[in-house]
Chains A and B, each alone.
Chain A
Amino acid sequence: MEDIEHIPKELQLIDKKGIRLDGRRFNELRPIKIEAGVLKKADGSAYLEWGNNKVLAAVYGPREAHPRHLQDPAKALVQCRYNMAPFSVTERKRPGPDRRSVEISKVISEAFASVVFVEQFPRTSVDIYIEVLQADAGTRCAGLTAASVALADAGIPMRDLVSSCASGKIGGVVALDLNKDEDNFGEADCPMAIVPRTGEIVLLQMDGHLTAHEFDQAMELSINAAKQIYELQRDALRRRYAAVAEAAEQEALREPPPQEAPRETPPDMPEDLPPEVDDL
């Protein structure tokens, strides 16, 4: 933290005590909140808040891949759409895919294709939808983290959850999990995603410049953070399936709903199986 003097005073991203603009230290994450199973119509879903990022992820599948010519007779496709809402940033974003979101969709789908057991579901596709509702830097990591929980919630067989975090360089210091100001005025940002159980890296990008030494520092920060995030993801999934158990219990223990006077039931109902076959 000795080489921060060259930064103008009004743009001191990290001060002499090592405190950042939002009060964090170089190795601290923003607060993260994850909830699994928030959407009823999707096979799996998750909502995530990561600092000022708000992300919704939904997973459908495995389902028939369309268009047909995309189907792979040997394995499932993992398709991802990362999309930012027009209101997710300060200046209204033109809706629809752009170069940036197409790239992010591609790297995220490739990250997941390496953990999902795609060979179990030939000719199908697993579709992941990531909607960024509010963006404050690090949305691809946030989206990937949420999508990972949504995939598990959808019951898709996979080797492990994927956890993701970014590190960068601000005011000459390597720091974890940059926010919007740090991303805009800092020197580098390096998002990555790992399979925590094995330590495999499934996504790695960099914007800006880091020396080899700084890169190693950044990776170490990110990997440690990703392991913390992994625990939050697992916790969200456990909560979801414990909550399901509780809700069902209350539902069943509730008094039966009021009924009109019971109608006469025929004294002997016919044998219920086999069901009637309409002979033609």
Chain B
Amino acid sequence: MRLSLHCVGGFTGPAGAENRSVDVDSLAANEGAHVRSLVQALDLAQLPATLLKARPQPWDFTYTLTVDGRQVRFHLDAAPAPLRELVEVLERHPPG
């Protein structure tokens, strides 16, 4: 399972967008299990394609998470807890 996270906003916008990609199979056993449980809790198949705030402000960065081809575009404040936690886990990995 591969997870990719794209994040855009701030002064630089698309020019400074951060991309992270993680192969869950390559993670340490504990972290991999944690990520899998979060993905399962998230149930991407049932999630709307966008979870955006109705009235975003300049500090609302826009994220796109891709898991095995399925995508959700969201603001953190509009995301369910497992999605926010996934972002937290993925942001521990360096962008590249």
| B is a partner of A | no
